[in-house]
A and B are shown apart, each in its own frame.
Chain A
């Protein structure tokens, strides 16, 4: 059993606090992704779990053991680094077998373990090459092979795909997902890319400024963001956010644009309250080019400033009260800049946030 538990973990660099008392339970065999903008403390957290950074406060346990004072080698973990950290003076085979050699395993066993790992990752042909002779994708594979060869209880991934080009990244994403099925270990994965987080994670841990902002499944974070930050970080394009004030049963967005408050949110806001109003591009569609016409809908006429055709859909840019918003057009036809279209806003998919704290009032 290799569940990982963080209990009010702190990290200080001198006076600067990088991680603020975070607590997290990760179940055995779970795939958890730590995601957030750079400097949010996600890598630091991962490195504390690995034992590469001291823990300033709180406890980290792997399985039933508190590992705070254990060196990395005694934590039964393995790690894939951003720049792979392959040993340049060893062949692929020696790289894969290094940890077993250090553990003084007999040569025959090392050889079979290395072969097994090489087979899983399709490295058989490359076993005698040096890292310098490999392509980026192959190096990535060797780094993963080095991690799985030991059958550790926990895998740590530190932005493993950020040095690959876009196409390879998509491909490796699939492989990592498959690998997780195959090795059935706990995986903690750090990335700044929300797409990776959404596609890979069983659960996402979204961090900012050393705090955990929200923990949940990808869909929970997408559909029920706890605040404006989560709403704008998760999903592409980011959620449109407008300032507004509650006036009776309406939200005044600009001087001449007011929108009905969704019926189930009426009790949650007070007259005169300043709020932030959020909706995704998917839920603002030109009439006749959306998913459905049912539910609560507001109609807004907007002048399109720019159209980005993507094939199956077209992204439309417009302005509401000086703020740029994005809309989606399904079954697209060609749209010229300057054209005014009648848009439908699906009110029951909208989000309302507190204007001061950014916390969700209606998630």
Chain B
């Protein structure tokens, strides 16, 4: 018995560590390396040519990249904020319902089960300028004579994409915040009522602080897959028209698969990974802070 045995917790974690290392870490290391080469899928030998930070310099000085980057940040900011607000609103609405609440809660989960790609197709269909539901209604009712180019006009396309994204993800917020509302202890709220708080005051000073951890859980879960928006955008507009809805992820996939410039695409990939990780760490941090404040550690 000279060899020290590995601790049990480590043995239990080992399979997870191995599979993630094999499937995520190793490819990531490889792609990190290839982001310093001019690697092209069509010419494998280019993998061995070292170009230093050329790819990074190139994307950092590329207007198209920065446009996509800025648009992605803007997209996420608008989407996440609206999802949070709408989710909170919906949760409060449903919380007030006295009859059929279970059914409504189940319906709320509806969009969560949809594949993002399905959401993309669904709204591509609904926003279709020729046969889409939206234009059909608008024209039948007589709001407009001509078909609105929902997915062709730059601004409208951005709106359509945002709509699809928010439709898909708001329910995560609504459901988690609703769970938080159910878990609020009655006593503080009743005490506030007796102390003469207005409904707004008791919401602001009791309900909302209590909901914060739930909001951050929702944010954390969301931040884990912000890039799901790629599926939607890819299907609905493919980044078009004329790059007006180009996000970091669609730009990367075009550069990698269509143009076959893997090195360059991987460099962009790293920027997007960094972005996702920053989001995640930020919300994890917020989550533990909110937890600590309410004394929920342990």
- Direct contact, A vs B (beta carbon within 8 Å): no
Q: Which residues of B contact A (CB under 8 A)?
A: none
Q: Which residues of A contact B (CB under 8 A)?
A: none
